Chain A
């Protein structure tokens, strides 16, 4: 038989329960996937072009939209780039608060990924549990920032709010609860013989390939490459934190999942350290703090939050360009801004971790079973809107 006669082209998505906002064009021979091509771009929202029409401060909410779930890390990446352009640096306490929210976001983003992976394998229990436990960090982030997901918490020169009263105790309770929960996940999902059978040795990404393809984040670390921007190019409070880069050697779907679980544990430790070591002081850069009238300053001290000074709203960075990178939950995110001295960026560029990992679909989902498509997809924690931007 010729190839056309026994190869079936399967269009998975965009109207499919497990495709996400994208289409996977799979060529299937019997139960074996011969090749798979991801067709992305269904949720392209012209974030980069839109940013050129907005004031710098307006871009913060904009760039939080695409990588939903992992908002704070992308917020941080943009703000760091902007601060480099402005030549300012946030005061120490703001740096620590930023790190705190970034790690909280990493926890709930990883739970989100684990939950989606669970339902892709058919474990509705893992899905429901992960989405519930994610809610705990979201609730605490809401107390800190006032929003569930799109925090817009980090602003050039600092953060919007200080820790609310009683936050440390609540967080301590939450962290202890999460630590108690992780063994439950092991029992019902991670160590479930069916999960193991579905994930072990499935979609193996070798170390050389991971480096050659430019993979980032947990997917890279699961292949045994200890690359983490938080260690390689530390920012905010990370140099002062004691944490390990979680790596696995196997490079299969299970390893990718377990790296995320390990990172949740590391983030829990980091949050403990942050709350213990956080320095006192202002949460906005001195230059902007000086512009705030004394009446507002009183109000700010009373409510532990910032009133945005007018100078921040119409920022005019000097002519030039700046780049910043952060370790977002899904991997390295790069922000690049070119300024022509006007209140709007001349060019704005986002390289999100998902767009760098999308190549894995084609690379990993080949000569495997149809049922392995969602198993591998879920293990990548790929998020189409983040890739499409």
Chain B
């Protein structure tokens, strides 16, 4: 009996199951989803002189509002329109959500705990992360709705405009560290300085592109409610809608983890504490907190900015962020040459 329990625990704690399933994978992604949407609404409410979510668990300020919403989504009927492409309509959101979080598997959570360590784990995260927007296009097309179609096309325009500069500004850090291995990057940052101090230009560019690619304000262009209702997700209801809504937050979560590793020193510095399991919990918690700060900052933009028009966002991405990301590569080279002198 004991043997079985230990075996299950071992299995769960084995990196190749723990990482995709528990942290930073599916379960923590869901937990973050529940927290960050509540936090976004609460924060915006604070700025806007109102309460925000309150009545579901009043003592904690409506903290489990999103659990209630999720339950409602689960039991609501997901209506599939008659004229929609059923296969694309049903599998689109599922694949969108899955591909939004799948990049988390390549994210290490300490020096010796990762699903796999690769020379190019940065590219794996970025590459897998680019998958999700394609499903927005599929959803927009498959739901056979004009607003959906326009929303899908908007996403199509934005994919290229945000992913390319984002790759370049992430690769600027790879140039700086001389490696694309995320574990090694954290190691180097603990020896030198945090990436944000070494190359602030890349950090700012990456952050703005994060907002752009996860459809946060002021770039909430794909779903723009007052223009195209809900963009690609106009026809959705029930849990399928819940998935589409959660997908961009999960993508934000993965990118925030990546941001924390690239620019904020990952799980360093570790607090000098010793307790059972601290080898796993401490670095995980530090990394998580850093990512959470980035996410909170991203969702706070809702209270500050209206949304850009798509042509303005594209102009911003191609005319300013793309050159800025290329400049950040040169900045990395400059820092490197300064270092070697």
Q: Name A's B-contacting residues (CB within 8 A).
A: 8, 10-11, 16-18, 28, 31, 118-126, 128-129, 132, 188-189, 192, 194-195, 197-198, 369-374
Contacts and interface: CB of A to CB of B under 8 A. Distances in A.
Contacts of B229: 16-17
A125 B307 contact: no
Contacts of B305: 122-123, 192, 194
Contacts, number: 86
Given A192-B305, A370-B150, A31 B225 contact: no
A132 B50 CA distance: 9
Given A17-B226, A120-B226, A370-B228, A128 B48 contact: yes
29 contacts: A17-B229, A18-B226, A18-B227, A31-B310, A121-B226, A122-B305, A122-B306, A123-B305, A124-B44, A124-B48, A124-B303, A125-B44, A125-B48, A126-B306, A128-B49, A128-B50, A129-B48, A132-B49, A132-B50, A197-B312, A198-B309, A369-B311, A370-B150, A370-B228, A371-B221, A371-B309, A372-B309, A373-B227, A374-B226
In the complex, which of the residues A28, A119, A124, A189 has the most CB atoms of chain B within 10 Å of its own CB atom? A124
A10 B224 contact: no
A144 to B, nearest CB: 24
Interface of B: 44, 47-50, 146-147, 149-150, 217-218, 220-221, 224-229, 302-312
Contacts of A373: 227
Given A17-B225, A128-B50, A10 B307 contact: no
Contacts of B302: 124
A74 to B, nearest CB: 27
Q: Is the interface of A mostly helix, strand, loop or mixed?
A: helix
B317 to A, nearest CB: 14
Nearest to B228: A370
A132 B44 CA distance: 15
B49 A194 contact: no
Contacts of B217: 122
Contacts of A122: 217-218, 220, 224-226, 305-307
In the complex, which of the residues A189, A198, A371, A373 has the most CB atoms of chain B within 10 Å of its own CB atom? A371
Contacts of A197: 308-309, 312
A-B residue pairs, 5 tightest by C-beta: A128-B48, A18-B226, A122-B307, A121-B306, A123-B306
A111 to B, nearest CB: 14
B227 A370 contact: yes
Contacts of B48: 124-125, 128-129
Nearest to A26: B146
Contacts of B228: 370
Nearest to B303: A125
Nearest to A8: B146
Contact of B227 (A8, A123, A195, A374): A374
Contact of A31 (B149, B226, B311): B311
Given A124-B44, A370-B227, A118 B306 contact: yes
Given A122-B224, A128-B50, A194-B218, A371 B306 contact: no
A129 B306 CA distance: 14
Nearest to B311: A369
Contacts of A17: 225-226, 229
B304 A125 contact: yes
Nearest to A28: B150
A182 to B, nearest CB: 16
Nearest to B146: A10
B99 to A, nearest CB: 26
Nearest to B221: A371
B306 to A, nearest CB: 4
B214 to A, nearest CB: 16
B147 to A, nearest CB: 8
B311 A125 contact: no
A18 B226 CA distance: 5
Contacts of A128: 48-50
A28 B50 CA distance: 38
Contacts of A119: 226
A197 B308 CA distance: 8
A10 B48 CA distance: 33
Given A120-B226, A122-B220, A128-B48, A194 B306 contact: yes
Contacts of B224: 122, 371
